[in-house]
Amino acid sequence: MHSVVLINPPLTLEARYGKDMKHFGAVSEPLGLAYIAAYLEFRNIPVRIIDSQAEAMSTDDIVASIVSGNETIIGITMLTPAFGVVKDLCNQIKNTCPNRRIVLGGAHCTVLPERTLEEIPQADVVCIGEGEVTLSEIARIRDDTLLSGVNGICFRSGNALIRTDPRPPLQDLDLIPPPARHLLPMKKYHLTASRVSGSGYCPTILVARGCPFSCTFCSRTFGRSFRTHSIDRILSEIRSLIESYQISQLNIEADTLTVNKKFIKALCNGLIQSGINRRIRWTCESRVDTVDEELLKLMHEAGCWQISYGVETGSQRLLDSINKSVSLNQIENIFRITKKVGISIRGFFMLGLPGETPSESQATIDFAKKLNPLWAQFTVTVPYPGTKMFEDIDQQGKIRTYNWEKYNTWSGWQGSEDIPFVPDGRTVQELRDLQKRALRQFYLRPVVILQFLHHIQSWRDLQKYFIGVMVLLKSVFR
């Protein structure tokens, strides 16, 4: 049997958000790797995790750690913007220890398995979709010729690439043990400033996988069917987080947490009946068409203090074109009700959508101001591979770069010329300025400053608001 080392590649906060914005970025637990590790341990396969993002390790540091470990399988997780650092890492690993088997997984590999093996010749296997069972099967194989019996992978056989039968998504998520947080440097994680309330560590717990909606910009790597952990399992995972890390806040993650009313109500009731709601305040993401006043009140009672809604755009025409299936009225209404029940809001807005005109960009900024969430995040549209948006733009020959490193929603802010997509008639410079303009117009308003002063609960809050204002002022005067 093999032993396994799992690696979160060294994509730094600066590479992700740029020099100014890095203070706001999240360094969060690589939950995918932690789930895989938990399952491998459950199957008695020796495993460790190197989280080079949290440990601020360079590629050289990782290779040194691999050399000193005896693991024969090296598993690396990869989102699209991490492509460059992962390729470099694979190269160095194969130069130093050519006999170790490199297995790649994660969103980018799931959508582009063959292309990933072509573009990273040092990688041996790519995992398509969920990796827990797949990697445990690979770890039990001594002879590479048997890889063809493992579902859900793509691998090399001589000069050919072989894709095996798909692995259906796990139906009973409780079969997977809770993420192996004991293998992670838990003290080193922090969520983005806008997601934490007060001080103290705020871990993420994943309660469901999959999403039935069809937004054209989303990769939806977990498929359409919404699969959940049982309420008992979720409550016991939260209790163990309270015991182990004395947490008082939590980020409850799912592709769309509130899509199944029965599930979210049962979860809220579980949190209330167990008394967890009196110890934990939590934040989550949702869609405006999956909540109503009754549910929002229940969520608030269950400890929810903040919801992040994907608003995307202030143009109904564009909302329809990205298949969001909600109306501007619906958004306004739910923002009003959410605030009324006492839940704070973070809004996500996309700039530079396909076909977006300058006045529609401004309409998005104006809509954000009108909705007035506590936090607004404006990102430049990136058509990630595997999305309908990428497919359409690619077919029209309008993808500007296939350099995957540039597929970062903050690359405009960082001054990159290589923004993957620019709408017809617009320029790179215009998009770069737009992101800054949106942030300035939204945050440098007296009402926002007053709102923030009202929400300051700790010295750390004050510090982060101060840094935020400085970053914005710097961009005004530049």
Q: Which of 10, 18, 75, 352 binds ligand B12 (CB under 6 A)?
A: 75
How far apart (Å, rounded) are the C-alpha atoms in residues 11 and 52? Answer: 8
114, 229, 106: which is closest to 172 by C-alpha? 229
Choose between 413 and 442: whose C-beta lies nearer to ligand B12: 413
Choose between 201 and 384: whose C-beta lies nearer to ligand B12: 384
How far apart (Å, rounded) are the C-alpha atoms in residues 447 and 455? Answer: 13
Residues in CB range of 217: below 8 A, 6 or more apart: 312, 322, 350, 381, 383, 384, 387, 389
Give me the least distance between CB of 134 and ligand B12, in Å please: 6
Residue type, 300: H
Helix, strand or coil, per DSSP, at residue 278 = helix
Choose between 134 and 361: whose C-beta lies nearer to ligand B12: 134
Choose between 131 and 352: whose C-beta lies nearer to ligand B12: 131
Give me the least distance between CB of 420 and ligand B12, in Å please: 11
Helix axes 261-273, 293-301, angle to 10 degrees: 30
Choose between 81 and 113: whose C-beta lies nearer to ligand B12: 81
Asked if 434 interacts with ligand B12 (CB under 6 A), we say: no
Q: What is the total count of residues that contact ligand B12 (CB under 6 A)? A: 44
Binding mask 315-354 for ligand B12 (x = CB under 6 A): ----------------------------------------
Asked if 11 interacts with ligand B12 (CB under 6 A), we say: yes
Q: Which of 21, 57, 79, 85 binds ligand B12 (CB under 6 A)?
A: 79
Give the sign of the dihedral formed by CA 151, CA 153, CA 154, CA 156: negative
Give me the least distance between CB of 423 and ligand B12, in Å please: 19
Q: Which of 91, 92, 204, 330 binds ligand B12 (CB under 6 A)?
A: 204
Question: Which residues are bridge partners to 103 per DSSP?
Answer: 75, 125
Give me the least distance between CB of 328 and ligand B12, in Å please: 22
Choose between 110 and 283: whose C-beta lies nearer to ligand B12: 110
The stretch near ligand B12 (CB under 6 A) out of 55-63, 270-278, 382-390, 417-425 is 382-390
Q: Which of 38, 107, 208, 238 binds ligand B12 (CB under 6 A)?
A: 107
Q: Are 20 and 414 in contact (CB under 8 A)?
A: no
Q: In Å, how far are 119, 158, 382, 419 from 402, measured between CA atoms?
A: 11, 27, 12, 10
Between the two ends of the chain, the Cα-to-Cα distance in Å is 58
**8-state DSSP, 374:** S
How far apart (Å, rounded) are the C-alpha atoms in residues 363 and 375? Answer: 18
Asked if 80 interacts with ligand B12 (CB under 6 A), we say: yes
Q: Which of 206, 207, 276, 371 binds ligand B12 (CB under 6 A)?
A: 206
Residue type, 11: L
Give me the least distance between CB of 207 and ligand B12, in Å please: 11
131, 129, 108: which is closest to 6 by C-alpha? 131
Q: Please give the residues from 125 up to 184 whose contact with ligand B12 meets the rule CB under 6 A.
A: 127, 130-132, 134-135
The stretch near ligand B12 (CB under 6 A) out of 25-33, 271-279, 328-336, 444-452 is 25-33
Asked if 439 interacts with ligand B12 (CB under 6 A), we say: no
User: Position of tokens 């396969």?
Assistant: 45
Asked if 314 interacts with ligand B12 (CB under 6 A), we say: no
Q: Which of 28, 136, 216, 364 binds ligand B12 (CB under 6 A)?
A: 28
Asked if 420 interacts with ligand B12 (CB under 6 A), we say: no
| Strand order through the sheet with 204-206 | 204-206, 249-253, 281-286, 304-312, 344-351, 375-380
Asked if 228 interacts with ligand B12 (CB under 6 A), we say: no
The stretch near ligand B12 (CB under 6 A) out of 75-83, 116-124, 229-237, 462-470 is 75-83
Choose between 31 and 467: whose C-beta lies nearer to ligand B12: 31
Output b/e per residue, 288-310; b: 16+ Cβ within 10 A: bbbbeeebbbbbbebbbbbbbbb
How far apart (Å, rounded) are the C-alpha atoms in residues 412 and 393? Answer: 19
Burial zone of 341 (CB within 10 Å; 0-12 exposed, 13-18 middle, 19+ buried): middle
The stretch near ligand B12 (CB under 6 A) out of 85-93, 360-368, 408-416, 432-440 is 408-416
Residues engaged in binding ligand B12 (CB under 6 A) = 11, 16, 26, 28-32, 35-36, 75-77, 79-82, 103, 105-108, 110-111, 127, 130-132, 134-135, 204, 206, 218-219, 221-222, 253, 255, 384-386, 408-410
